Amino acid sequence: DAGVTQSPTHLIKTRGQQVTLRCSPISGHKSVSWYQQVLGQGPQFIFQYYEKEERGRGNFPDRFSARQFPNYSSELNVNALLLGDSALYLCASSQGGRDYNEQFFGPGTRLTVL
Amino acid sequence: SQQGEEDPQALSIQEGENATMNCSYKTSINNLQWYRQNSGRGLVHLILIRSNEREKHSGRLRVTLDTSKKSSSLLITASRAADTASYFCATHNYGQNFVFGPGTRLSVLP
């Protein structure tokens, strides 16, 4: 079975631009979460979607938005990019439900903002 | 602030030695999970331990959980160069989201 896939692998943008990152979960998984990982730090939770509805949101500005599609894939959008948005963006899928099981992470999208 | 805090921040050992990493957290949890990350790639799930469990094993990995002290430890026995990576603990509670610590960078020298 294919694992979690993310696209693109790398992305370079300039300040003020907008970016869309994509994630496909493991087949059968209904929950997708997004994390931002700055170099040298642990992942920071951004969003979680379950059954196409937002279940959780981390401490990120409204420039960050996401959605989940009927096939459970997900997009993360970031508007008005800042230099500080440069990071590895990780997507994780899980079966979901109230009792969290382990999350399976994709390889990430490395975003560089110049 | 992050709930999980790993200790030490960095650890360097010789191949064949054991490596122990600790994680402390602040509030009640449903489960705690350990992940490995190789140089900026995606995280790999290692072990999940639930709040009513005290110890779990997986191959060369042993995880303990002490909910009274709000701490967990990850032991890697007979380390190998391939174990060189960053290790993160992540805590979860019902109705809340995963919270990761800053990680421990493990270097296993041949």
B30, B44, B103 member nearest A42 (Cβ): B103
Cis peptide before B110 (omega within 30 of 0): no
| Residue B2 scores a pLDDT above 70 | no
| Residue B73 scores a pLDDT above 50 | yes
Residues of B with CB under 8 A from a CB of A: 2, 4, 30-31, 33, 35, 40-45, 48, 88, 92, 94, 96-103
CA distance A80 to A86: 12
Contact B42 A108 (CB under 8 A): yes
Cis peptide before B102 (omega within 30 of 0): no
Contact A56 B43 (CB under 8 A): no
Note the pLDDT tens digit of each residue in A36-66.
999 889 999 999 999 989 988 999 999 999 9
| Substitution target from A33, A105, A110, A111 for chain B, most B beta carbons within 10 A | A105
Note the pLDDT tens digit of each residue in B12-41.
999 999 999 999 998 889 899 999 999 878
| Residue A23 scores a pLDDT above 90 | yes
Q: Which residue of B has its CA nearest to A5?
A: B42
| Residue A72 scores a pLDDT above 90 | yes
Collect all residues with Cβ–Cβ distance below 8 Å to B1 and sequence separation of at least 6.
none
Collect all residues with Cβ–Cβ distance below 8 Å to B42 and sequence separation of at least 6.
A4, A90, A105, A106, A107, A108
Residue whose structure tokens are 């009640």: B28
CA Rg, chain A, in Å? 13
Asked if B42 and A107 touch (Cβ cutoff 8 Å), the reply is: yes
Chain B residues with CB inside 8 Å of A34's CB?
none
pLDDT at A86: 97
Nearest to A37 by CA among A91, A94, A77: A91
